[in-house]
Amino acid sequence: MMETECLFCRIVAGEIPATVVRETDTTLAFRDINPKAPVHVLVIPKEHYADVVTLTEADPGLAGDVLGTAAVVAETEGLAADGFRLIFNTGPYGGQEVFHAHAHVLGGEPLGPMLAR
């Protein structure tokens, strides 16, 4: 299912360009256009799910594919040795801005505390 107004669905469809770092049959990983760390890659399922909860409830295997792709991205981007952060922002309170399930792979420098207060 593709949502015609969804930014990430449009990237999957090739309507909007992205710097792709990894693609599988079920997932797409591309560089964030507003990076928060030296490495900031988004990993999405190609199929549209609004958030990680919806994705996991509907298709746990696809959720696993997203995690697997994130792990490969971290390795190929050179983050595995020093560590990285994997974040799923979910819902308005969680800071989700694009309502298509996606993981942020962040690293390349010390990232500091989880929450700034």
* Catalytic center residues: 102
Distance CA 6, CA 112 (A): 31
